[in-house]
Amino acid sequence: MRRVIFNQKGGVGKSSITVNLAAVAASRGKRTLVLDLDAQCNATQYLLAARFPEGEDRYDITPNVGQFFAQTLTFKLKEQPLSDFVHRSAFDHLWVIPAQSELMEIEQMLESKHKIYKLAGALKQMSRDYDEIFIDTPPAFNFYTLSALIAAQVCLIPFDCDAFSRRALYTLLENIEETRQDHNADLKVEGIVVNQFQPRASLPLRLVEELRTEGQPVLNTMLSSSVIMRESHEKSQPLVHLAPRHKLTEEYQMLYDELHSQALSKGFE
């Protein structure tokens, strides 16, 4: 399964959801790969910080996905396969292709060289070696996001229950549908996952109900707002390892189960 986690709006928890779902999959013995395409390198920091000493520049871990793309800009008789850019994380069954802070600097060159399908071919080959591939994307509809949508089988959309997020959601869904029509006919919207949910607040409940009334694919499992997530970031430990009995950890386990069950029933896997 190749899954992209995507929202054009920042601050909705893309990297947290990517990393924690991947960690759940790995904790269950699935060979799991996280590909970080965001120049902010959040997923990379989350999963690889424990492998590098304090003070080392963790925003340019090499080899990285920026180098994978950069090699396509110059003629080479033989390019390195994407598998050469994988790092083992500190967690069992979990590997990472790190991002690079300079990803944005080569974006225009990649666009001009028409390299938009490069990632799709590479990840399709790597699907033979991994049970689950999770792709973290930048908060923009750009070259890297489009590459990820072309390479993925399903798209999971984080949503954080405010009016700005709702307006952005419709544009996002249009972009996904356009990508499906123009580039990847097999791409499916896996669902909308409500993040930082506050069940006692009226606005989130109303927004979720309205989205469901519209027929939007809002998933049943919702992720609560909790300070434990901030601790998880600070310690660079996914919740399933940091706090396995915490309510939010259990919600991530439930979310993974819901996605897996849906994938089987709809033939995504």
Q: Which domains does the chain have, with CATH numbers?
A: 2-264 (3.40.50.300)
Cβ neighbors of 230 (< 8 A, separation 6 or more) are none
Report the percentage of the chain scoring pLDDT > 90: 80
Q: What is the pLDDT of residues 111-144, one digit of tens each?
A: 998 899 999 999 999 999 999 999 999 999 999 9
Whether the Cβ atoms of residue 66 and residue 126 lie closer than 8 Å to each other: no
Cβ neighbors of 185 (< 8 A, separation 6 or more) are none
pLDDT at 51: 72
Whether the Cβ atoms of residue 215 and residue 192 lie closer than 8 Å to each other: no
Q: What is the pLDDT of residues 73-82, one digit of tens each?
A: 887 768 999 9
pLDDT at 268: 67
CB atoms within 10 A of CB 137: 28
- Using CA atoms, how far residue 145 sits from 7, 167, 203, in Å, is 9, 19, 30
Average pLDDT (198-219) is 90
pLDDT of 200 over the 90 cut: no
Burial degree of 200 (CB within 10 A; 0-12, 13-18, 19+): exposed
Q: What is the pLDDT of residues 158-186, one digit of tens each?
A: 999 887 788 889 999 999 999 999 999 99
CB atoms within 10 A of CB 3: 23
Question: Which of the four pLDDT bands, split at 50, 70 and 90, describes residue 156?
Answer: very high
Q: Which residue has the higher pLDDT, 95 or 163?
A: 95
pLDDT of 266 over the 80 cut: no
Which residue's structure tokens are 């901030």? Answer: 230
Its pTM stands at 0.95
Number of helices (H) and strands (E), helices first, in the chain? 11, 7
Give the type of residue at 256.
Y
pLDDT at 49: 87
Closest by CA position to 221, among listed 244, 245, 190, 178: 190
Distance CA 244, CA 226 (A): 14
Question: Which of the four pLDDT bands, split at 50, 70 and 90, describes residue 191?
Answer: very high
pLDDT at 56: 53
Q: Please state, rounded to an integer, the average pLDDT across all residues of the chain.
A: 92
pLDDT at 148: 98
Q: What is the pLDDT of residues 57-75, one digit of tens each?
A: 556 789 999 999 999 888 7
Give the type of residue at 127.
S
| Polymer length of the chain | 269
Burial degree of 101 (CB within 10 A; 0-12, 13-18, 19+): middle
